[in-house]
Amino acid sequence: MNTGPEETAGPGGPHPAGCGPHPDGLRRFATIWSRAVYPTTATCMTRAEFEEHLVPLAELLSSTLHARPFDPGPARAVGTALVAAHCTAPESLPQILGVVDAYLLLYCADPALLPPEEGRARCARLQHAIAAGFARALQERTRAEQESLSRAALAAQSEIERALHESETRFRAVFEGATIGIGIAALDGTVLETNRALNDMFGDTERHHLSSRKVTSWVHPDDGPAVWRMYDELVRGEREHFRTEKPYHRPDGTVLWTHLTVSLLRDPDGSPRYMLALMEDITERRLLHLRLRYEATHDALTDLPNRTLFFERLEQTLARGAQTRFGLCYLDLDGFKTVNDSLGHAVGDQLLVAVAERLQACVNGPGQLVARIGGDEFVALVTDPACSGDVTDLAERALEALSTPVLVDGRELPVRASIGIVDGPAGERTAAEVLRSADITMYRAKAQGGNRYELADPDSDARVISRHSLTNRLPAALEGQEFFIEYQPLVRMSDGSVEGAEALVRWEHPRHGVLGPDRFIPLAEHTGLIVPLGRWVLEEAVRQACEWQVRGIGGTRPLRVNVNLSPRQLSHPDLVAETVAVLENAGLPPHSLCLEVTESAMIRADDAELKPLRQLAELGVGIALDDFGTGYSNLASLRRLPASTLKLDRSFTRGLQHHPADPVDLKVVEGIVSLAHVLDLSVTVEGVETAAQAEHLRALGCDSAQGWFYARPGPPERMAVELPLAAAH
């Protein structure tokens, strides 16, 4: 539709796509809309008044377009309002929808809130809803006219039977001048009279072509199941009228779709006499409806069914109950982002089209559907597979079909894919749960190297869902103060006194109870939340150490607090500044803080990442090499690290828990302690659980230890109790 250049640009020209809606977007959209539609209306409003009438309709479309969750239903009211404004000419609806299709996203969409692909899909569904509302309103108006015509025709027919010339003239005027098709038939189905409009609908110029037929000969394969039942009831006088949507075959082979109203005409004594049929041609409207429906349910790039149609089919399949089985393959291309980033989106689109064609060729059975649900993600749905092997066979055919490189612009692009398979009886899970399981399984296939398929496993699903749930909960948990710290004493082995405590963070989860750091620290590390969480732990531990010193716990030798530092914190640019600020704000001397870094993290760190630790060590902060012995340290690496303490992993000391001790473990620990002391490093042993183990470690020269033999982690108040107990040990 060409609206003229003046309708597509304001004072500054049209705003470019992707730059957000124009401040006057709604007004400009309404202006373009009114210029296109006003010539087709029969309204008494001026064009300016008509434009003002369209502004709230544009606002309704814009708000519906951005609504979440998206529901196109409110857009039906737009179609209804336009019919009420007398936009009822045959060309009105295409003009209305043409402007919505061309300009709604341009002037009324916010790309920051609505990605272009989703916007186009929503716009198509809004057009569908507008057309549905328009059709419904027009249908209601037509029905009212039909009823009026029916009453006039009945009165006229009665007057004909009384042979009154005046009534005959009135009937003929109504009958022949009507813009909808009218036919009169005897109760045996013989067509007696048809008007010009009905003849035009069927393409007949001579009435005998229709009058020579019987109503019962107009059967069509797409007739609704109740059409002929209602017809029989009307002929028998059991109903007065019925309405339905019915197709007819035209003589030229095309199909005429109508809104059909059939009424029973009775004679003066009430006996059934004739049938009166009123037909409205809705062929163009139905074709438009089908086109909009197709656009709303198919992917514009690949022409495959889209996410909307896929979910409709999946929900229909699952609603059939446990007697129906289903299978679903969730496919994601491996490395597709690299193709887009390196070769451009145009090449990526061509690759997706080729993949879609190959996948479509793999679907060769009834009840199978391939859809593109977004990006490089495709799904194949199998309804009632003969056996579970049918679904895996489909996955294997898909991988085989994609094994040959795709030729795009003279380049051979290899294609790999990961597939997650879910199958089983319908009725046990919702569509969202099935797709989530398939998605999880697909990522499991990708984690195994890709270019393969994996079968869904409920246990794996549960672990991933739990991990996802905890990950999503982490920010709220930190904000809601669900974390707390327990402290485990560090004991000097020379005299049994407590020299400090390690701060161990815990999560008081409202549903799962107390969670240890192994459950959430990796998640926090992955999401980056470890930085604010680590800062909170540091602030809380330093504050607690100050409180112990103020209360005199530890005597003349103030207690030290050990705080774990994750690899991500190690690379945080503000590590030194934030640590110094926390110490200064609390008034804790640097030597009362020790930061523990795992051996693997410190060994992997380069000089730039070790620089903050060296700066902190120069300030007096202790640096402990945690879990020593689990990585790949050597003498050279130990000498370059800014550590003051080795924390020996418990795996080295399990052989010392009983008497006599494992001689090999004794030699290994003795060697590590000697090496550490040569390098001027103190040695702390983790996981001390027995008196024999403690005695062996003391004899081997270990400096300090921690473990259940001395005390389990507990609240900070227990430190006053643990001091004499540790000394007693």
Q: What share of the chain is helix, strand, coil (3-state, %, to 5)?
A: 50, 20, 30
Give me the mean pLDDT over the 174-178 stretch: 68
**Whole-number pLDDT of residue 399:** 95
Is 383 within 8 Å of 317 (Cβ atoms)?
yes
| Confidence bin at 293 (pLDDT 50/70/90) | confident
Q: Which residue blocks in 551-592 are alpha helix, DSSP H?
A: 567-570, 575-586
**Whole-number pLDDT of residue 578:** 95
Q: 501 has which bridge partners? A: 489, 561
Burial class of 186 by CB neighbour count within 10 A (0 to 12, 13 to 18, 19+):
middle
Nearest-angstrom CA–CA distance, 354 and 407: 9
Q: What does each C-alpha distance from 497 to 580, 618, 689 come to in angstroms?
A: 28, 27, 17
Q: Is 419 helix (H, G, I), strand (E, B) or coil?
A: strand
Sequence-distant (6+) residues with CB within 8 A of 328 are: 314, 379, 380, 381, 382, 391, 421, 422, 423, 434, 435, 438
* CA proximity to 694, closest of 708, 681, 673: 708
Sequence-distant (6+) residues with CB within 8 A of 173 are: none
Q: What does each C-alpha distance from 142 to 16, 170, 175 come to in angstroms?
A: 42, 21, 16
Give me the mean pLDDT over the 505-518 stretch: 89
DSSP string, 124-152: HHHHHHHHHHHHHHHHHHHHHHHHHHHHH
Nearest-angstrom CA–CA distance, 354 and 331: 15
SS3 of 600-643: HHHHHCCHHHHHHHHHHHHHCCEEEEEEECCCCCCHHHHHHCCC
| Strand positions, DSSP E, 402-534 | 406-408, 411-413, 417-425, 452-455, 483-492, 498-509, 513-515
How many CB atoms neighbour CB 165 within 10 A?
9
DSSP string, 52-82: HHHHHHHHHHHHHHH-SS---GGGHHHHHHH
Which residue's structure tokens are 């112990």?
Answer: 548
What DSSP state is assigned to residue 714? B
Sequence-distant (6+) residues with CB within 8 A of 527 are: 471, 474
Phi-psi region at 10: left, alpha or beta (left = phi > 0; alpha = psi -120 to 50)? beta
Is 133 within 8 Å of 36 (Cβ atoms)?
no
How many CB atoms neighbour CB 619 within 10 A?
15
Nearest-angstrom CA–CA distance, 335 and 376: 10
Q: Is 193 helix (H, G, I), strand (E, B) or coil?
A: strand
| pLDDT exceeds 60 at position 472 | yes
Q: Which residue blocks in 402-457 are alpha helix, DSSP H?
A: 431-447
Nearest-angstrom CA–CA distance, 396 and 73: 41
| pLDDT exceeds 60 at position 12 | no
Nearest-angstrom CA–CA distance, 76 and 53: 16
Predicted TM-score (pTM) of the model is 0.50
pLDDT in tens, 87-123: 888 788 888 889 999 999 989 988 888 888 888 889 9
| pLDDT exceeds 60 at position 16 | no
**Whole-number pLDDT of residue 614:** 93
| Confidence bin at 252 (pLDDT 50/70/90) | confident
Q: 243 is written with which tokens?
A: 């309405």
Nearest-angstrom CA–CA distance, 712 and 379: 52
Max intra-chain CA distance, the chain: 131
Amino acid at residue number 374: G
Is 501 within 8 Å of 544 (Cβ atoms)?
no
**Whole-number pLDDT of residue 8:** 38
Amino acid at residue number 75: A
pLDDT in tens, 40-86: 888 888 989 999 999 999 999 999 999 989 999 998 999 899 988 88
| pLDDT exceeds 60 at position 500 | yes
DSSP string, 650-665: GGGTGGGSSSSPPHHH
**Whole-number pLDDT of residue 590:** 95
**Whole-number pLDDT of residue 10:** 38
Sequence-distant (6+) residues with CB within 8 A of 60 are: 74, 75, 77, 78
Higher pLDDT, 151 or 174: 151
Whole-number CA gyration radius for the chain: 40
* CA proximity to 435, closest of 395, 381, 475: 381
Q: Is the peptide bond before 69 cis (omega within 30 degrees of 0)?
A: yes
Which residue's structure tokens are 């195994």?
Answer: 448
pLDDT in tens, 178-204: 778 888 899 988 888 888 888 888 886
Nearest-angstrom CA–CA distance, 419 and 400: 12
Nearest-angstrom CA–CA distance, 307 and 296: 10
Q: What angle do CA 260, 265, 266 make, to 5 degrees?
A: 160
| Confidence bin at 209 (pLDDT 50/70/90) | low
Sequence-distant (6+) residues with CB within 8 A of 399 are: 417, 419, 451, 452, 453
Q: What percent of the chain has pLDDT over 90?
A: 40
Q: Is the peptide bond before 660 cis (omega within 30 degrees of 0)?
A: yes
| pLDDT exceeds 70 at position 208 | no
| pLDDT exceeds 60 at position 724 | no
| pLDDT exceeds 90 at position 403 | yes
